[in-house]
Amino acid sequence: MRISELSRVTGVPVATVKYYLREGLVPPGRATGATQAQYDDSHVLRLRLARALVQVGGLSVAAARDVLTSLDGAGDSLHRVLGAAHSALPPRIEEDREPTRARSLASSWGWQVHPEAPALRQLEHALRALDDVGASANDERLAQYAEAAHRVAEVDVAGVPTTSPEEAATAVVIGTVLWEPVLLALRRLAQEAVSAESLGRP
């Protein structure tokens, strides 16, 4: 397909497609003339992923290029794709201290996670914020949260397509970044529903 068709199929404006091509987020097409090139389905997938990273993940173009490069190196292991995506996606936690409590919690739940997984620092940071306002998280509530998070994660991982590493990566990026607000909105709605159930409307 021509660049106009690539733009139409993905909904990404031609100017943005050209920008991503120039910046190396999307590999060049097969040249069919001095100013023309042909693109295929692999470009469609890569373009969707690049857009998801930049517009949804909020990554800079340079950061998105790094992610795409690391995904290319991840081969077809979904586990590695997930790791590369998690490492690249926000939030970036500025946390020097070791995620000691997070590691010990994960291990107490039997979760097999890499000791340097970025989500461990993310969890440690969130737990410290609770400590700071004098509302430290207790292990029981954390275990209940962990159980719910595990159910959600089962749905997430089961939903990742295994057709190609690129489709898997796109699904992981979208699932991580775009399903987070869904989960948070659902939690608040559920809080209202539970509070209505248990306390009744005034």
Chain residues 42-101 in contact with its own copies, contact rule CB under 8 A:
48, 51-52, 55-56, 77-80, 82-83, 86, 91
CB neighbour burial string for 86-122, b if at least 16 within 10 angstroms, e if fewer: bebbeeebeeeeebebbbebbeeeeeeeeeebbebbb
Give the integer Cα–Cα distance in Å for 150 and 131.
24
CB of 149 to its own copies, least distance (A): 4
CB of 186 to its own copies, least distance (A): 4
Give the residue, chosen from 104, 153, 163, 164, that forms a contact with its own copies under the rule CB under 8 A. Answer: 153
* Span from 21-29, 35-43, 62-70, 170-178 in contact with its own copies (CB under 8 A): 170-178
* Closer residue to its own copies in complex, CB, 37/128: 128
* Closer residue to its own copies in complex, CB, 21/47: 47
Give the integer Cα–Cα distance in Å for 66 and 63.
5
Terminus-to-terminus CA distance in the chain, angstroms? Answer: 61
* Span from 25-33, 35-43, 58-66, 109-117 in contact with its own copies (CB under 8 A): 109-117
List the interface residues with its own copies, window 12-41 (CB under 8 A): none
Give the residue, chosen from 30, 33, 96, 202, that forms a contact with its own copies under the rule CB under 8 A. Answer: 202
* Closer residue to its own copies in complex, CB, 31/184: 184
List the interface residues with its own copies, window 127-146 (CB under 8 A): 127, 129-130, 132-135, 137, 141-142, 144-146
